[in-house]
Amino acid sequence: MSLFKNWFFYFGSLFTLILYLLFPGNVDWILDQPLLVAKALESNQLNRWGDLGIAGGNGTTYGPIPNFFYQILLHTTHNLLIIVLIKTIVSWGVIFASLWRLSFDLKLKKIGILIALLSPFLYFYNRSLWDNVFLIPISALFSSAVIRYCSKRTSNDFILAAVLAAILFHIHLMATLVIVPGMGILNWLMIKEKDKNLKKLILVQLLIGVICWPYLKTLLIAKTLAPYGHPQWAAIFLSPLLGLRLFGYFGFFEYFSPNFYQFFKGAGKIGIYFLILLTSIGPLYYFLGLKKLFSRTCALEKPIRIYFITVLIMTVLISFKMKLRAHPHYMNASWSIYFCVFWMAFSEGVENLKTQRLFKVYSSSMVMLILTYIAYIQLNSGDRGLHFGPTLINQIEIAKQLPKSDSLKNINIEVDNFSNFPQRLSVLAEIYGNNNLSISLRRLIYATPFPSAKIELTH
């Protein structure tokens, strides 16, 4: 990269980090987040490591890695805003390092990393105190290890991939999307080419298998890996196209902040729609990347290409088996593969003047939309939609007005979002509440008119 491009890239990277760290209290705090923190608090109180995570939508109990992470942080501080900051910095750093490695191994332009970091889905999920979102940084590092072994046959990367596969398995079972193809291709290469460290690599995997067996045995005994409800066939068979979401704002506001559009009027709303239309440049490059991936002229080494294609096939198979819907968190384990597909097409034409102009238009629209969204959440203290609700900082303000125990005993909840997830305040009251406080009958209501999500306690 030229000096200008170097400065632009590093300044842009720092800019994305600042965006991620702005307003740490403006994150979601809904169902699994308080359950996860509550489990970590309980494990710390019992002075032991939590053996399992929380249960998913179909009753499957996920692994304990996120629980371990929050246990460690909660030993240091009970300030959830600091925990959000630490978690966000670590996640951003692992993503950046993983994509940096991938840029060398796949010979891709580093400027493309900025697009990943500007993705609204990565921005939202990497700030969230959820368990599934840990898949985002760890799966990216896993894919970088798989790809480096495929290209350089380095045993250390094989071992790194095996260790990360075990960690992913103990985070969320959607990691199967990359674990099976990734470790499958590594073992195929190891056996086919008779790796000089063959016995060592097999032994490492056997040891990791022993570590993973207790959790796998728990899953097999529980028999909770049942499909979800009625299938959405379009979502299943078009699941490899979920990657389109990463590179624009199609479906983002509808899922996370359905009241977003109602906040704008007239020219403002037209401007938002226009910016979203401009972000379609990103999905277009993803389509071009898919075309290149399946073409005879694909420049990827054969094992890496097989890995990418197998992940896409696994996405359809798992979606079919579990009858998954088109929820964005289902791509958190495989997002780096989607991104590399986009990145290949983008890097190929980045020296072209037309591509450079498109990049400027595209990246500018992504920046403007993410800044608008940050301002929207700040001004409205969240969104009244099911997948966000009042911000964490707003809920902490309420929790400080509650007793530590029986915090909801004398409260009539008149906030729709809380009717579904009332335990969110109970957990916060345990951390921020007052031991000596008792309250008479109060009402939890929206503090200001729609679409604001700000809540308050009133008589």
SS (H, E, C) 78-109: CCHHHHHHHHHHHHHHHHHHHHHHHHHHCCCC
Residue 293, beta-bridge partner list? none
Q: Of the candidates 361, 380, 399, which is a domain's last residue?
A: 380
Q: What is the pLDDT of residue 378?
A: 97
Percentage of the chain lying above the pLDDT 70 cut = 96
Are residue 46 and residue 126 in the same domain, yes or no?
Answer: yes
Are residue 102 and residue 16 in the same domain, yes or no?
Answer: yes
Q: What is the pLDDT of residue 224?
A: 67
Which pLDDT tens digit goes with each residue over 11-61?
Answer: 999 999 999 999 999 999 988 899 999 999 999 999 999 888 887 766 788
Mean pLDDT of 187-211: 94
Q: What is the C-alpha to C-alpha distance for residues 336 and 331, in angstroms, rounded to an integer?
A: 9
pLDDT, mean over the chain = 90
Q: What is the pLDDT of residue 408?
A: 76
Q: Of the candidates 323, 352, 380, which is a domain's last residue?
A: 380
Mean pLDDT of 290-305: 91
Are residue 289 and residue 399 in the same domain, yes or no?
Answer: no
Tell me the helix, strand and coil percentages in the chain, rounded to 5: 65, 5, 30
Mean pLDDT of 239-246: 85
Are residue 397 and residue 439 in the same domain, yes or no?
Answer: yes
Short-list 180, 100, 112, CA closest to 141: 100
Contact status, residue 155 vs residue 197, Cβ threshold 8 Å: yes
Residues composing the chain: 459
| Of 355 and 24, more confident | 24
The residue segments making up the domain with residue 146 are 3-380
Phi/psi of residue 44, each to 5°? -65, -40
CB proximity list for 278: less than 8 A, separation 6 or greater: 361, 362, 365
Short-list 301, 305, 277, CA closest to 289: 305
Q: Of the candidates 333, 355, 380, which is a domain's last residue?
A: 380
Q: What is the C-alpha to C-alpha distance for residues 182 and 187, in angstroms, rounded to an integer?
A: 9
Are residue 360 and residue 395 in the same domain, yes or no?
Answer: no
CB proximity list for 235: less than 8 A, separation 6 or greater: 319, 324, 325, 326
Q: What is the pLDDT of residue 2?
A: 52
- Look at the chain and report how many structural domains it folds into: 2
Mean pLDDT of 279-307: 92
pLDDT at 1 over 60: no
Are residue 411 and residue 335 in the same domain, yes or no?
Answer: no
Residue 3 banded pLDDT, cuts 50, 70, 90: very low
Tokens matching residue 321 = 């088996």
Residue 5 banded pLDDT, cuts 50, 70, 90: low
Are residue 47 and residue 113 in the same domain, yes or no?
Answer: yes
Which pLDDT tens digit goes with each residue over 85-111?
Answer: 999 999 999 999 999 999 999 999 999
Are residue 369 and residue 441 in the same domain, yes or no?
Answer: no
Are residue 51 and residue 147 in the same domain, yes or no?
Answer: yes
Are residue 306 and residue 201 in the same domain, yes or no?
Answer: yes
Are residue 446 and residue 375 in the same domain, yes or no?
Answer: no
- Its pTM stands at 0.94
Are residue 362 and residue 396 in the same domain, yes or no?
Answer: no
Strands 442-446, 411-413: pairing is parallel
